[in-house]
Amino acid sequence: MTSQTPSAPQPPRRHDLDALRGGAMLLGIVLHASLSVAGVPWMIRSEQSSAALEHVFHFIHVFRMPLFFLLSGYFSVMLWQRRGVSGLARQRLLRIGLPLLIGAFTVVPLTETAMEYGMELQRRETRVGTASLPAARTASWTRGEASLSATDLTGAAKRGDLQRLTELLDAGADANAPDKLDLTALHWAAAWGHADACQLLLERGAKISPRDGEGSTPLHTATFFGRADAVRVLLEGGADPDLMDQNGTTPADLVSWSWDETRAGLTRFVAGLLGVPLDETTIEADLAATAAVFQPSAPMRLLDDLARFSLGHLWFLWFLVPLSAALALTLGILGLVGRAAPGTWTVSPAFVALVLVPATAITTAMQRGGLNMPGFGPDTSFTLAIDLHVLLHYAVFFAFGGLVRGADPDTRILTRRWPLLLLMGVAAYWLTIDAALAAPAKQGDDTVLGVMLGESICAWGLVLGSMGLAQAVLTRERHWVRVVADGSYWAYLMHMSLVFVLQGRLAATDLGPWVQVALTCTVTFLAMGASYLILVRPTLIGVLLNGPRGGRAAAQPS
């Protein structure tokens, strides 16, 4: 790329890609609205569920944020061509850094409060005070394996029945025998928080760190559920807080997990799966008490607290900070050495197939604990401590977006076969999804390789195909499309609070899953649209998010 300055000819506004960026934002609302009925871990789980909506979630998730980051890289280089490196840095600070800073102390607390209120609405409607899930659904998840007889060692450990434990051990019961879930009695006592039962089992020969099928120890289990007394007994008994499970997670790592939307959803899911009681009114205090047992030093506690600071659904803004900084540095260096623009070969099908697909296949292999866990699409990193493998995944798309702006600014070379690209992405989804949802790493190397390539091909096909589709139908400026695209930034920043409340209200109703999602999306879109037009667009907030209405730059805050 040649060094350009703000005096260079101004590139035309890309109405198609601007609209596509807005569409990616709004798809995030659909994705979040579907989570309560999609059968995946989430804070609020409806009594209704839909396998089709689970596919909707996975299909959107695999390409939406990669598309967003690719467009962000494209628009960033476009902005550099207009304003230079200093202009790029200044605009990113105003449109990304400042909203992130403000949102971290306004939007995030509001979202967390709404999440708690939505969960309380669900508990109130279902007349349950814990994380229990409908019995029929729990039974289907566990295939009846978690409901073992109350007369065996496992049942006594769950109840914390010291007398029965003693009788069974005296009768020759093996304290280390795993049940059908590969969990020992010590695992169950730790999960339920029965510290005295843990102590008895250890005194009667229970191993301190037996592993379940996922490599988790009783200390993992007790720490995950915030059982501080059980954690204390296990640590005093010699449990190693640095032992890793199959995902590379240690009990000490679990202590650092913040109580955000992801952690809440996962905790509720696992508690319901195992039938473990969970009091959501005390869980945060329980987890804090558990963390205190590990007794980190004061400086480490400060660093841990900072690293665990949750950004919720604003994480994408935080990711754009290092990516934009790296881009500005790279462009500055290229400008100093006078490097030429990249050749069109960097946007050829061969480059995509031989370089980009393998690159994101590798980063895909790092997702979900090395593909040990079921799922489809990239992980999400919600805290200030960015997960490097997630950043690397999106960095590939971001960097390529910048290359596209330099080598193929009108994107016609890249997307001229967009119908074929879309078809390829859809086909890769259906060929890969079943294996991905069955924990690929547990099925062998061939399955892992297939999922790596399948997810990568799916993402690139849908990303590039959607760009071509947008170029085919949205090239001409339409006022309403531009207003929607502008408002999408505000809508995405603010939508989660309303989604949580609506999900909590609808969770226990007899409305079907599609009706619940449709209602949630409709109310959210209308509320976000009205608030943008009335409260945001004419004000300084609108200028902060989208620039002056009369002369907005072609580069958007994506």
Contact 256, 308 (CB under 8 A): yes
- Residue 253: the pLDDT is 82
Q: Which residue, among 423, 515, 428, 534, has the nearest Cα to 469 in the 3D structure? A: 423
- Residue 299: the pLDDT is 65
Question: Looking at per-residue confidence, does 260 or 427 come out higher?
Answer: 427
Question: Looking at per-residue confidence, does 475 or 90 come out higher?
Answer: 90
pLDDT tens for each residue of 205-245:
899 989 888 888 999 999 999 999 999 999 888 888 888 88
| Mean pLDDT, the chain, integer | 85
pLDDT tens for each residue of 460-492:
999 999 999 999 998 888 888 899 999 999 999
Report, as an integer, the average pLDDT of 277-298: 79
Has residue 159 got a pLDDT over 70?
Answer: yes
Q: How far are the Cα atoms of 259, 291, 320, 452 from residue 224, in angstroms, in the given order?
A: 11, 10, 31, 29
Report, as an integer, the average pLDDT of 395-416: 93
User: Which CATH number fits the domain 130-278, given the four candidates 3.40.640.10, 3.40.50.2000, 3.40.50.1110, 1.25.40.20?
Assistant: 1.25.40.20
pLDDT tens for each residue of 372-402:
878 899 998 888 989 899 999 999 999 999 9
- Residue 516: the pLDDT is 96
Has residue 510 got a pLDDT over 50?
Answer: yes
Q: Which residue, among 289, 276, 219, 229, has the nearest Cα to 253 in the 3D structure? A: 219
- In the structure, what pLDDT confidence band is assigned to residue 269 with cuts at 50, 70 and 90? confident
- Residue 126: the pLDDT is 62
Length of the chain: 558
What residue segments make up the domains of the chain, in order of their start? 15-125+310-339+392-442+460-546, 130-278
Q: Helix/strand/coil (H, E, C) string of 174-206?
A: CCCCCCCCCCCHHHHHHHHCCHHHHHHHHHCCC
SS3 (DSSP) at 259: coil
Give dist(CA 527, CA 115) in Å, integer: 18
Has residue 11 got a pLDDT over 70?
Answer: no
Give dist(CA 380, CA 74) in Å, integer: 22
